[in-house]
Homo-oligomer: A and B are copies of this chain.
Amino acid sequence: MNKQFRLAARPVGLPKASDWKLTEEPVPTPADGEVLVQTEYISLDPAMRGWMNDAKSYVPPVELNAVMRAAAAGKVTASKHPGFAVGDAVEGVLGVQQYAISNGRGLRKVDTKLAPLPAYLGGLGMSGLSAYFGLFEVGQPKPGDTVLVSGAAGAVGSIAGQLAKAHGCRVVGIAGGAEKCAWLRELGFDGTIDYKSEKLSDGFRRELPKGLDVYFDNVGGDTLDAALTRINLHARVIICGAISGYNATEKPKGPSNYLSLLINRARMQGFIVFDYIKKYNETYEVLNKHYAEGKLKLRETIVEGFDTFPDSLLKLFKGENTGKLILKVQVQ
């Protein structure tokens, strides 16, 4: 049988158990041109919270009673598609379910000899692409620039920081807790700010004595507002996400210091990874190369058990993951 998590209701605030419905149906059979994938790892991403809202966005919302949208990785168990064979390791937008049918579009074969399967959902997957395109296409850092990253111990932030470091930048990360900050220093971050144990303004004073040139924002809210007070002339603020507000039930505050963009002739720009689809393949190669050379260190927080999905997703919003948060379908 194929277990699936379906969206039962549009959540208000943090998703509750009753916003989900766990269903079971027979494992489907691929038609001509299709492939059946047994999912082993399911990617848990802050963006999923946005997909649950009935609002115009960069992708349509997940419909009520539909299988929840998610990236996942697994093995091909049946194939009527010339490009895929049984046993192939693959990754794609397969949904929160144990088996998925794919017509091959957007389904990527990955090399589990280079890196373990979960890596292709994280730093060698969509998180890596988001970090790369946000940093280089939008942020355009120059070697020597100071780059600040919020949510720095998260899936995207940890990659963005390492990419900036490899590019010759001075990198400062904001994260919650001493353990996360210690990991960032292992990754090569030049400075860290633990927002749980110090005021951002104190951390900024210590770690950003010459201000910042690029701010990679995953968090929004007060962190973005505070960072705007530290931007240098012609700074670039990359809006990748705003996890602090995704479960807000009231309209979040905007960045009241946005006029710093005027004073400093700076820009704040959003992006969506999908816009760079034509550059995916060349960028996967760059990420794979960095990884093979040890310049890109990956870490996953893996939660076991398909049925834990509703609770496991919430770990993102409680900051309980370090690196990429992944649901492992089977309990070991």
**Chain A residues in contact with chain B, CB under 8 A?**
56-58, 220, 225, 239-242, 245, 251-272, 275
Contacts and interface: CB of A to CB of B under 8 A. Distances in A.
Copies in the complex: 2
Contacts of A239: 258-259, 261-262
Contact of A270 (B56, B240, B263): B263
B258 A255 contact: yes
A256 B252 CA distance: 6
A145 B252 CA distance: 30
State the majority secondary structure of interface residues on A: loop
A185 B258 CA distance: 31
A203 B240 CA distance: 31
Given A225-B254, A253-B253, A261 B269 contact: yes
The list of the 8 closest CB pairs from A to B, nearest first, reads A254-B254, A262-B270, A267-B269, A254-B256, A261-B270, A254-B255, A239-B262, A268-B268
A274 to B, nearest CB: 10
A45 to B, nearest CB: 14
A264 B270 contact: yes
5 contacts: A242-B262, A253-B256, A263-B272, A265-B272, A268-B269
